[in-house]
Amino acid sequence: MSTSPARKILWAYVVLYIVILYFPVVLLPIFSFNDSATPTFPLKGFTFKWYEGLIGNETMLKAARNSLIVGSVASVGSTILGICAARAITRYRFRGKSAASGLIMAPLFLPEIIIAISLLVVLLGIGANLSLTTVMLGHLLICLPYSVTVLVSGFEGFDPSLEEAAQDLGAKPLRVLRLVTLPILAPAILSSLLVAFTISLDEFILAFFLSGSEPTLPVYIWGQLRFAAKLPNVLALGSLLIAASLILLTTAEIMRRRAERRLAGR
Amino acid sequence: MINISNVGRRYGTFVALEDIDLQIKAGEFFSLLGPSGCGKTTLLRLIGGFDVPSSGSISIDGAPMSGVPANHRPTNMVFQSYAIFPHLNVAENVAFGLNILNLTKAEKQARVDEALSRVRLVGLGSRMGSQLSGGQRQRVALARALVMKPKVLLLDEPLSALDKKLREEMQVELRQLQQDIGITFVLVTHDQYEALAMSDRIAVMFDGKIAQIAKPQEIYQNPTSRRVADFLGGMNFLETANMRLLGENVVADVAGFGTIANKRRGDEMIDPAKATLGIRPERLRIQWEDEKAKNEISGKVLSRHYFGEVTNLVVQVEGQPRPLSVVETNDFGADGIPVGSLVRIAYDEDAFVLMKE
């Protein structure tokens, strides 16, 4: 291997980049097993007690359950709406098409806090009670651009005559959807579900404004940070979330690749 | 079998098809031939039920097709892209339509096997679509449509994605297949040789209208318009003067050729003011020095274009404003006739083609 100065500098840059990006994340699980109420070095000893403390924590469990519900509804919802929108955008020419796709993408560029406040004003204005439902609606709004982006690229690689062929062979529209459209779009649909779920799961600002008395996990964690004594519990919870995300991402990616391989016939 | 009457299709202000009247007979191999954008694919899609006419009506086997979606029509289609379902293997692709019918497993299997053997794909049932060559994909698409036992098979440029050699093989094979099963085939193509080689009848289309419907020989030898003549192979359009009707004949003075009489076909109306006279390049024969023919013209070779089987000579004939294209067979020696030579060219009196416009 060459060890020219340029190469050394590049290596140093890469190492520094990775350390800055991931070191704090690695600290989280380390301190979560540390037998000390404050996250400081040197480490005091190994313990499971912060995790044990989570088990009986009803409020935390409820927040986690809320997050899962919101994430599931938002990801499924934005994927279904995304399929409709992506199909319309890629297959049809219609008046106001670019305006429609622009509006779908808008939440991506608007500051989230502005969206949150506007939604709050509107919801309160129409007399809606803040609940998980309002959080779901908010999350649907911000997940949709991601779902549409992923699904549009899925539809772009999708030959429209495949659907026509299925219809030609006697399949009614619903059968075409079930046996041809959805299986072929499976990788894109899976990606959309995953992206939307992850976004919803760690979304804080909208959830904070719209959740009322039913906090999601990020809102709960934020609340706990006010109490220094709860910090190790939060670290344990954070570590669990990281583990869960890793497992989720890996499984979904494996499934997606398997579906893609199947389509490519390899 | 297929009755298309007065069909039009508009997209906004764009007229894709206009006043299409066409009867396709049962068991006929019928081709819709024309340049891209002439409306031939639109017409095929109207027959298949993938699009609806803006005016007029289509009936298949006596049954009106208005309001009948593609999944309820007695037609099946081979798509230009073949549209092989990528998530299914060959056998599953072929069985796709059968799954909707109420068949026993054994019946289904028998029909899939029969279809695969008909297109010579036996043993490839478990392959995925992406593992197939272009020719095999085309066969799968064919088997998948034929297994449904349609009354009409629609083919949308099915051979355009194949290389020349394979395309020519498939032309023979498709024609043979159609003769064997005896159902109606409607083929869309922009390749005149393909249409000539395979069809019982051809409809030549330009700009959303049918220009001529006839048998291959008829359409090649007696094109009704300059456009049809030009689209199907080469044609030398001749400069004529004083074209007139004389009894059964249309007579014209053709510079270089003399006075040429052309018999009128049937009771066809010919307007001498609009008609054009032409001659196909292969009906002009270069003469050996010792040969003498009854009808001869002479000219000078301007350029030569070598195609392997034949060479195309461009010859300036005295009196004609445009040089004529002449087919030279390769029996004039390895180097053929050099550019600049003076040649004598023979023709037959019946070789001229009279076009109405």
Do residues A3 and A83 share a domain? no
Q: Could you report the per-residue pLDDT of B39-93, keeping only the tens digit for each?
A: 999 999 999 999 999 999 999 999 999 989 999 999 999 999 999 998 899 999 9
Q: How confident is the model at residue A2 (pLDDT cuts 50, 70, 90)?
A: low
Query: Is residue A50 a part of any domain in this protein?
Result: no
What are the chain A neighbours of B145 within 8 Å (beta carbons)?
Answer: 168-169
Query: Is residue A36 a part of any domain in this protein?
Result: no
CB–CB contact B128 A265 (8 Å) = yes
pLDDT at B26: 93
CB–CB contact B83 A171 (8 Å) = no
pLDDT at B295: 85
Q: Please give the share of chain A, as a percent, with pLDDT higher than 70.
A: 97
Q: Where in chain B is the domain with CATH 3.40.50.300?
A: 2-227
Q: Look up the CATH number of the domain holding residue A257.
A: 1.10.3720.10
> In the predicted model, what is the mean pLDDT of chain A?
86
pLDDT at B203: 95
CB B223 within 8 A of CB B214: no
pLDDT at A34: 78
Phi-psi sector, A131: left (phi>0), alpha (psi -120 to 50), beta = beta
CA distances (Å), origin B350, targets A34, B9, B256, B280, B326: 105, 41, 17, 11, 17
DSSP per position, B23-59: EE-TT-EEEEE--TTSSHHHHHHHHHTSS--SEEEEE
Measured distance CA(B140)–CA(B147) in Å, rounded: 10
CA distances (Å), origin A103, targets A17, A85, A99, A109, A154: 36, 11, 6, 10, 20
Q: Which of A150-159, B98-107, B244-253 has the lowest mean pLDDT?
A: B244-253
Report if pTM > 0.90.
Answer: no
Give the closest of B77, B79, B131 to A265, CB-based: B131
Residue range A241-263: average pLDDT? 81
CB–CB contact B83 A162 (8 Å) = yes
Do residues A22 and A77 share a domain? no
Phi-psi sector, A168: left (phi>0), alpha (psi -120 to 50), beta = alpha
pLDDT at A264: 67
Query: Which has the higher per-residue pLDDT, B158 or A234?
Result: B158
What are the chain A neighbours of B127 within 8 Å (beta carbons)?
Answer: 265
Which residue in B has a C-alpha nearest to residue A159's C-alpha? B83
CB–CB contact B87 A183 (8 Å) = yes
In the numeric block, which tokens belong to residue A167? 């219809």
Measured distance CA(B199)–CA(B336) in Å, rounded: 35
Q: How confident is the model at residue B12 (pLDDT cuts 50, 70, 90)?
A: confident
Measured distance CA(B302)–CA(B34) in Å, rounded: 31
Looking at the predicted complex, does its ipTM rise above 0.90? no
Number of CB pairs, chain A paired with chain B, less than 8 A apart: 75
Do residues A136 and A189 share a domain? yes
Query: Is residue A8 a part of any domain in this protein?
Result: yes
Query: Is residue A39 a part of any domain in this protein?
Result: no
Q: What is the dihedral of CA B5, B193, B324, B314, to 10 degrees?
A: 150
Query: Is residue A41 a part of any domain in this protein?
Result: no
Do residues A187 and A249 share a domain? yes
CATH topology for B2-227 is: Rossmann fold (3.40.50)
CB–CB contact B83 A164 (8 Å) = yes
pLDDT at A110 over 50: yes
Do residues A119 and A167 share a domain? yes
CB–CB contact B70 A167 (8 Å) = yes
- B125 to chain A, any CB pair closer than 8 A? The answer is no
CATH architecture, domain B234-356 = Beta Barrel (2.40)
CA distance A185 to chain B (A): 10
Give the closest of A168, A179, A264 to B70, CB-based: A168
Interface test with A, best of B11, B50, B71 (most A CBs within 10 A): B71
Rounded to 5°, angle at Cα B261 from B256 and B267: 145
CB–CB contact B144 A262 (8 Å) = no
Length of chain B: 357
φ and ψ of A27, to 5 deg: -60, -35
pLDDT at B28 over 50: yes
Give the closest of A165, A183, A266 to B83, CB-based: A165
CB–CB contact A165 B70 (8 Å) = no
CA distance A176 to chain B (A): 11
CA distance A247 to chain B (A): 27
Domain total of chain A: 2
Query: Is residue A255 a part of any domain in this protein?
Result: yes
Q: Where in chain B is the domain with CATH 2.40.50.140?
A: 234-356
pLDDT at B266: 63
Q: How confident is the model at residue A1 (pLDDT cuts 50, 70, 90)?
A: low
pLDDT at A266 over 50: no
Q: How confident is the model at residue B267 (pLDDT cuts 50, 70, 90)?
A: low
Q: How confident is the model at residue A50 (pLDDT cuts 50, 70, 90)?
A: confident
* Tokens 């001529």, residue located: B212
- A171 to chain B, any CB pair closer than 8 A? The answer is yes
Do residues A246 and A122 share a domain? yes
The DSSP bridge pattern shows strands B209-214 and B201-206 to be antiparallel
- Domain containing A14: what range? 1-28
Do residues A18 and A98 share a domain? no
Q: Could you report the per-residue pLDDT of B215-243, keeping only the tens digit for each?
A: 999 999 889 888 999 999 889 998 888 88
Do residues A3 and A82 share a domain? no
- A159 to chain B, any CB pair closer than 8 A? The answer is yes
Measured distance CA(B18)–CA(B43) in Å, rounded: 10
Length of chain A: 266
Q: Could you report the per-residue pLDDT of B150-164, keeping only the tens digit for each?
A: 999 999 999 988 888
pLDDT at A164: 93
Query: Is residue A35 a part of any domain in this protein?
Result: no
CA distances (Å), origin B67, targets A92, A175, B20: 21, 20, 19
Do residues A163 and A219 share a domain? yes
Query: Is residue A237 a part of any domain in this protein?
Result: yes
Ranked by mean pLDDT, the top range of A49-63, A69-83, A102-116 is A69-83
Q: Could you report the per-residue pLDDT of B162-217, keeping only the tens digit for each?
A: 888 888 888 998 999 999 999 999 999 999 999 999 999 999 999 999 999 999 99
3-state SS class at B290: coil
- B71 to chain A, any CB pair closer than 8 A? The answer is yes
φ and ψ of A183, to 5 deg: -60, -40
Measured distance CA(B77)–CA(B83) in Å, rounded: 10
pLDDT at A174 over 70: yes
What are the chain B neighbours of A184 within 8 Å (beta carbons)?
Answer: 85-87
pLDDT at B94: 94
pLDDT at B239: 83
pLDDT at B285: 86
What are the chain B neighbours of A265 within 8 Å (beta carbons)?
Answer: 86, 127-131
What are the chain B neighbours of A159 within 8 Å (beta carbons)?
Answer: 81, 83
φ and ψ of B246, to 5 deg: -140, 95
In the numeric block, which tokens belong to residue B73? 């029509």
CB–CB contact A159 B83 (8 Å) = yes
Q: Could you report the per-residue pLDDT of B294-332, keeping only the tens digit for each?
A: 888 888 889 988 888 788 889 998 888 889 998 887 666
- Cα Rg of chain B (Å, integer): 24
